[in-house]
Amino acid sequence: MLGMSGRALSFGVMADAYERFRPGYPMELVDMVMAYAGQPVRTALEIGAGTGKATRLFARQGVTVTATEPDGAMLTELRKHVPAGVRTVQTAFEDVRPGERYGLVYAAAALHWTDPEGRWSRMAALLEPGGVFASFGGPIQPADPEVEEAVRAARAPYLESDEVPSPDGTPPGHEMQWPGTELQRSEWFSGVQQDTIERRLTMSARDYVGQLSTISAYLVMPTREREQVFGRIMQVLPETVEVAADITVHLARRRHEH
């Protein structure tokens, strides 16, 4: 198994696939973050920006975004798609030099790659007092339980689950999910909120498998096994796949009194 940074960096070869197959984010997400902020957000820092699907959304709203991402291939792809004025920095979250403070720091399906050691004090150091932290993402699964079960069975000999387990061990049914749980425990943050944006998408079987190919659980498999498991999954999929792609959003505010 690759180490944390190895897994995070294994996405580089996938930059094209990532851009092509991962769905973007809805406008509703920006509205939710802005409503929570309750004031104009002028500057933002993104952690692990990937190909910049979330960055585009915030930048188009006139936010001055600094997109950070450790992988060069991802950043190259990102630069093709973001509005002018987005600043890009090739760096891991742990190496972002504190100095500038932002009105918003956000992570789109990337926070679990960050080092838990000092995560929240580091985050707080990047935020203006009263600034907003946002994390959002969620699994993409066949909406039809029979299709989901067929995919699970096809995958089973190779992989029990393709989801990222909760980094702090919060059980799936728990009311507050990670990272909300960690934010609630952190002395640096208040007003922790969890919301869900429900979303249904339709994709071709090929695009559904393409999307799976960008998920770390498959990326770290030996090539031959990965090809076998994708072949098996293709066989059980209908031509078009209805997917549930709900986005879980966590929001918190950096306390003033620190």
Q: How far apart are CA 168 and CA 189, in angstroms?
A: 17
The residue count of the chain comes to: 258
pLDDT tens digits for the chain (258 residues)?
333 444 444 555 678 888 888 888 999 999 999 999 999 999 999 999 989 999 999 999 999 999 999 989 999 999 999 998 999 999 999 999 888 999 999 999 888 888 888 999 999 999 999 999 999 999 899 999 999 999 999 999 988 777 777 888 888 888 899 999 999 999 999 999 999 999 999 999 999 999 998 888 888 888 899 999 999 999 999 999 999 999 999 999 999 865
Please state whether 48 falls in left (phi above 0), alpha (psi between -120 and 50) or beta: left
Superfamily of domain 4-140+163-200+245-254: Vaccinia Virus protein VP39 (3.40.50.150)
Distances in Å between the Cα of 118 and the Cα atoms of 62, 115, 185, 249 are: 31, 7, 13, 22
CB–CB of 56/115 below 8 Å? no
- pTM, entire model: 0.89
Q: How far apart are CA 242 and CA 203, in angstroms?
A: 7
Domain layout of the chain by residue ranges? 4-140+163-200+245-254
